[in-house]
Every structure is written in structure tokens, then in C-alpha cells.
Amino acid sequence: MRLSTRSRYGLRLMIELALSYDEGGFVFLRDIAKREEISEKYLGQLIIPLRSAGLISSKRGAEGGYQLARPPEAITVLEIVEALEGKVVIVDCLRDEAICHRASSCAAREVWKKLQETIVRTLGGVTLAEVVRIAREKSQLPDYSI
């Protein structure tokens, strides 16, 4: 299983919004695009499902931009991924048993089911606030690059 660019960039977008959440202001998409080195146009495409899922709010005008609709502690990585990708389903037979006539007797399906449950539980157990804490810790590390 591989997460798409939508999830990877979407989480980075949400981290940026969470970093400015305590300030209470709105953030311009162009500023996030510049800091994260992601196309503003692409971020604009990610905003739509995140806003539809109730994770982001927006405001037009000079004082406008985007902000989290809820505190970072109340948003999980699972919510972000599912807003951008849909429900986490690692194999088609877990989405719909009718796809495979062997689904009810398939031992491999049980392995995939356990794996999927672990992924969902892990993503659902990590809040955006926790990811922001990690981001802040990483940004304080010394840079030894030459």
C-alpha cells in the first residue's frame, strides 16, 4: 500500500495550518505553497475535500485565507487521509465481498483485514497536534549539512 501525493501533501498543508492555529489568524495558500515548496494550484485542489470534510474553514478578502476548523487535538491523521483518499481499503475484497466469490473462505483476506484494521487504528490514533509536536522537535534539531 502506498499513500498518494494527495495524502502526503495534504498532511503537510494541515501541519502548516496547525502551526498557526494558536495565533487564530487565517493563512494564505501562497504562503504555505512557498514554505512547503508545493504548487499553490495543487494545494488549492486539496483544500476542497478538506473543507468539505469540515477540517478547514476559509475566509475571502485581504484578511482571509484558510485555517483549521477544529483544534489540532481534535483532528486525526485518519480524517485527513480519508478526506483526501476516501476510506482506507488496502484490497478490493475488503470494500465489497461480492467482488470475490472466495471472500468468505479466504485466509489471505483475514490477513489483509488485520493489516487494514492496524493501519486505520494507527492513523486514527495520531492527532494533528502530535504531528505538529514532532514537526517542532525536528525543526529544532541542529543542521549538520555542509
List the domain boundaries for the chain.
5-138
Helix (H, G, I), strand (E, B) or coil at 57: strand
Architecture of domain 5-138: Orthogonal Bundle (1.10)
**Which position has the grid cell 483549521?**
68
Rounded to 5 degrees, φ, ψ at 89 are: -140, 115
Instruction: Please report which confidence band the pLDDT of residue 1 belongs to, taking 50, 70 and 90 as the band edges.
Output: low
E strand spans, 14-118: 56-59, 65-68
Q: Which distant-in-sequence residues (6+ apart) come within 8 Å of 11 by Cβ?
A: 77, 80, 81, 131
Q: Which of 1-10, 42-51, 79-88 is least confident?
A: 1-10
pLDDT in tens, 80-139: 999 999 999 988 888 887 788 887 788 988 998 999 999 999 999 999 999 999 998 888
| Whole-prediction pTM | 0.88
Structure letter (DSSP) for residue 99? G
